[in-house]
Structures are given as C-alpha cells and as structure tokens.
C-alpha cells in the first residue's frame, strides 16, 4: 500500500513539474500588473519646432572645432586706365571683391536662377544669374601679388564656435 501512495505522489510531482504548474492554487497565483499605454496628443506651434531645430543645430556647433577658410581672389587690370597705378588699384579691388564673394559662397551658399528660351526647336536665349548674400567680418588678406595684369589675393577667415553660432542661429 505504501508503494501505491509513493507512486501516486511521485506521479503528481512529475505532473506538476512537467505541466509548468507552480503548485499554487488559482487564487494564490501572482497577477502581473497591466501596463496601460497613454497617448498624449499635444498641439505644437510652428515656432516651437523651429526653436527645437535651432537648439539642436547649436548643440552640434558646440562640438565643432574652429575652422579656417582660405580663398584666392583674382582681378584683371583694365586696359583703358589713366595710369598703371590706377590699373593695379582696380585689379586689387576686383581681387578682394572676388575673394569676399568666394567666402560668402562657402559660408552661406549661392542662389542660382536660370532661364532658357527655345524657339522653333532651337535655343534662342540662355541666362544664368548667380547671387550671394552674406556678411563677412574679420577676413584678412595674407598674401597679394600682381603679375602680368592679374592681381591675386589670398584671404583667410577663422571662425570660432561663437562665430558659427552667430551665423547659424538665424
């Protein structure tokens, strides 16, 4: 008789182990808390989005090391001047203006507008207009030379983190 009792207990123990039952009664089983996901709908103003993008951009600029921009501007001396000195002065002015234009293109980009006119299946007119708008401060001319009617200047601009923020926080 003992043998049958042991066998029954052994069978029940095996049943509990292999069935995944934890041996607790249904009222004693631990209930997992239900997770309720709440959806929050918030109206966001367009200006708030712009400010968040601006803040993110400025945070990236904090990681940026100072950057040096170097450009070479060129100007040609005009042929119809009163004196050679005037030709050199005008060539230098053109070279400096060209260097500033190149810095503006690098910092702010360039706007390109193009228009073409086709008549009778042939290109009649093609116009391309480029424009640069920007403010360049503290650029320095480090080299300048004049040779064979061409004036060349080397211009440098060092931008610190503070200047990057000033430029890109618009």
Query: Which of 9-13, 86-90, 93-97, 140-144 shows the lowest mean pLDDT across its residues?
Result: 9-13
Alpha carbons 31 and 69: distance in angstroms, whole number = 66
pLDDT in tens, 108-128: 888 888 888 988 888 888 899
pLDDT-derived band at 150 (thresholds 50, 70, 90) equals: very high
What pLDDT, on the 0 to 100 scale, is given for residue 5?
66
Q: How many CB atoms are located within 10 Å of the residue 98 CB?
A: 19
Q: Is the pLDDT of residue 132 over 80?
A: yes
Residue 38 — pLDDT band, cuts 50, 70, 90? confident
Q: Beta strands 111-119 and 67-76: pairing type?
A: unpaired
- Please determine, for residue 100, whether its predicted confidence score (pLDDT) is greater than 80: yes
Can you give the pTM of this predicted structure? Answer: 0.57
Residue 28 has pLDDT above 60, yes or no: no
For 2, the token pair is 């003992």
Domain boundaries, the chain: 66-168
Tens-place pLDDT, residues 48-64: 777 777 777 666 666 66
What mean pLDDT is predicted for residues 37-58? 73
Cα(68)–Cα(157) distance, integer angstroms:
6
Q: Which residue has the higher pLDDT, 57 or 73?
A: 73
| Overall average pLDDT of the 18-45 stretch | 65
Q: Looking at mean pLDDT, say which of 22-26, 40-44, 107-111, 142-146 comes out highest.
A: 142-146
State the pLDDT at residue 96.
96
Give the total residue count for the chain. 170
Q: Vertex 5, ends 4 and 9: CA angle to 5°?
A: 115
């Amino acid at each position: 008789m003992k043998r049958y009792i042991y066998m029954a207990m052994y069978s029940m123990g095996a049943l509990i182990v292999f069935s995944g039952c934890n041996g607790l009664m249904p009222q004693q089983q631990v209930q997992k808390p239900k997770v309720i996901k709440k959806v929050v709908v918030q109206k966001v103003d367009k200006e708030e989005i712009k400010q968040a993008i601006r803040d993110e951009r400025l945070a990236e600029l904090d990681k940026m090391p100072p950057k040096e921009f170097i450009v070479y501007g060129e100007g040609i001396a005009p042929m119809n001047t009163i004196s050679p000195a005037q030709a050199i002065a005008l060539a230098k002015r053109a070279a400096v203006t060209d260097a500033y234009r190149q810095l503006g293109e690098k910092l702010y980009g360039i706007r390109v507008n193009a228009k073409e006119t086709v008549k009778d299946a042939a290109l009649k007119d093609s116009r391309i207009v480029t424009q640069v708008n920007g403010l360049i401060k503290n650029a320095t001319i480090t080299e300048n030379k004049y040779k064979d009617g061409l004036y060349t200047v080397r211009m440098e601009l060092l931008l610190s983190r503070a200047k990057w923020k000033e430029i890109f926080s618009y």
